[in-house]
Structure 1
Amino acid sequence: MANEIMDRNNLMRNWFNGDSWMNNIPSLFDNNFPEDSTLKTDIKETDKDYEVHVDMPAFNKKDIDINYDNDVLTVSGHRDSFDDHSDKKGDMIMSERSSGRFMRQYHLPAVDSEKITANYDKGVLKVSLPKMEKKVETGHHIDID
């Protein structure tokens, strides 16, 4: 199932790569969105649950929002701008830290939404999503009328 999630992440890039004239479009998008502006994520799946770890450095816990609806986990938040560390002339050699609103969505089916838990510690959001218990069909005899 983990490969299925990764396949969805690459779906758009694969679609563009199908037409040679469109091969450069994904790189144009990549240049507009620096790699550091996305929420880096690890997802682990077991028979009993999903565990999602999202790097969210410099976020305040109160600025993070987590929702689960229609088999989709949505993690969003906002990070205010950083203090200006320019010298008196306003010279800044480089500034790579980003601020603003961030959001990621993950398709994680058959989760018991009442039992989802989350923890935010040292810049990492950890969300545990227990799977619904599967009902075991024991079968039964059906009489014919």
Structure 2
Amino acid sequence: MTNEIMDRNNLMRNWFNNDSWMNNFPSIFDNNFPEDSTLKTDIKETDKDYEVHVDMPDFNKKDIDINYENDVLTISGHRDSFNDHNDKNGDMIMSERSSGRYMRQYHLPAVDSKSIKATYDKGVLEVNLPKLEKKVESGHHIDID
């Protein structure tokens, strides 16, 4: 299923990239859809925990919200990364910096939600989600009635 979705996405991307009208579309509009508009993430899983690293440059720690509910980690934040730099003549030619609300969700099951820890340093949010301990049941004898 995932491969089918990826194939469809690649097909659409190729169609847009090869379409002559899209290739001639004025480049001044390209910056309205920044490629870096999502929170880039690395997730590592060990036997004991999940480690989530999210690039969140220029966010203030107080503007980041982390929530874990129903096996879903939600990370959101608000960023105002720039002021209006136009002068009285409106001489700004281009602005690639973005502001606004960002959110990502990750399905990470069987987490001890009371032990989740997070740190934010140099634009990277790190969240450690310890897994619940699996109870290993030793076998037991069952009588037949």
Q: Is TM (by shorter chain) over 0.5?
A: yes
% of aligned pairs identical?
Answer: 76
Name the residue aligned to 1:14.
Answer: 7
2:60 aligned with 1:68: no
Q: CA deviation at 1:26?
A: 10
Question: What amino acid is aligned across from residue 61 of structure 2 in structure 1?
Answer: K
Question: What amino acid is aligned across from residue 54 of structure 1 in structure 2?
Answer: V
Name the residue aligned to 1:85.
Answer: 85
User: Would the aligned equivalents of 1:42 and 1:53 in 2 still touch at CA under 8 Å?
Assistant: yes
Cα deviation code 1:2-36 (max 9, x no counterpart): xxxxx96x77443455xx689647999xx774221
Name the residue aligned to 2:111.
Answer: 111
* Whole-angstrom distance in 2 between the partners of 1:76 and 1:11: 29
* Whole-angstrom distance in 2 between the partners of 1:23 and 1:92: 33
Question: What amino acid is aligned across from residue 86 of structure 1 in structure 2?
Answer: N
SS at match of 2:62: helix
CA separation of 1:26 and 1:115: change in aligned 2, threshold 3 A: farther
Question: What amino acid is aligned across from residue 114 of structure 2 in structure 1?
Answer: E
TM-align CA RMSD: 2.8
User: Would the aligned equivalents of 1:16 and 1:25 in 2 still touch at CA under 8 Å?
Assistant: no
Cα deviation code 1:39-96 (max 9, x no counterpart): 1111111111110010111111111111111111111111125122334422123211
Is there any run of 5+ residues in structure 1 with no aligned partner, and where? 1-6
User: Would the aligned equivalents of 1:115 and 1:129 in 2 still touch at CA under 8 Å?
Assistant: yes
Is there any run of 5+ residues in structure 2 with no aligned partner, and where? 23-29
Larger Rg belongs to: 2
Name the residue aligned to 1:50.
Answer: 50
Return the TM-score normalized by structure 1.
Answer: 0.78
* Whole-angstrom distance in 2 between the partners of 1:21 and 1:84: 35
Q: CA deviation at 1:109?
A: 1.2
Question: What amino acid is aligned across from residue 121 of structure 1 in structure 2?
Answer: D
User: Would the aligned equivalents of 2:44 and 2:52 in 1 still touch at CA under 8 Å?
Assistant: yes
